[in-house]
Amino acid sequence: MADRLTQLQDRLDQLATQFYASLRYLSTHHSSSSTLPPSSHVAPFPATDTNPHQRPDTPTTFAAAQRELATDLVEKVQEIEYLTGTLPGLDKSEESQVRKIQKLEQELRRVEEERKAAVGERRKCLGVLEEVIGKVGRVKD
């Protein structure tokens, strides 16, 4: 499984993609009707559409799609907030983080010493094994 930072970056990329897809859908599936209230003194934008790719949905379908797109965006943002909240160190002081790093360094040194001892033991066992094999080979000859 990917680490938290990679997961966070993936979710941010997905959010950007969802933003683009949402805007694309909204721009290609909206009706060309005016969004201004009837009492507005501003002249409405002409309803002539020059976009050949526009395929307006019915108002019900368009509203349902808007809700679904909004829900998807909110869910993705919640995932990002959760991942951000699980990042290590956000709730700890610098001193406690330094102490934890020092403790981990000490543990790493101890484990490295154990590894070196195990390598030495392996070499010793290998030497004994080679002696035994050599003696067996001489006995057969």
DSSP per-residue string spanning 36-85: S-TT-SSPPPP-----TT--PPPHHHHHHHHHHHHHHHHHHHHHHHHHHH
CA atoms within 13 A on the CB side of 105: 6
Whole-model pTM?
0.54
- Alpha-carbon distance values, 125 to 71, 113, 122, 134, 139 (Å): 64, 18, 5, 14, 21
pLDDT at 19 over 70: yes
Kindly tell me if the per-residue pLDDT of 136 is higher than 90. Answer: no
pLDDT value for 141: 62
Helix, strand or coil, per DSSP, at residue 115: helix
- 94-124 tens-digit pLDDT: 888 889 999 999 999 999 999 999 999 999 9
Give me the mean pLDDT over the 66-92 stretch. 89
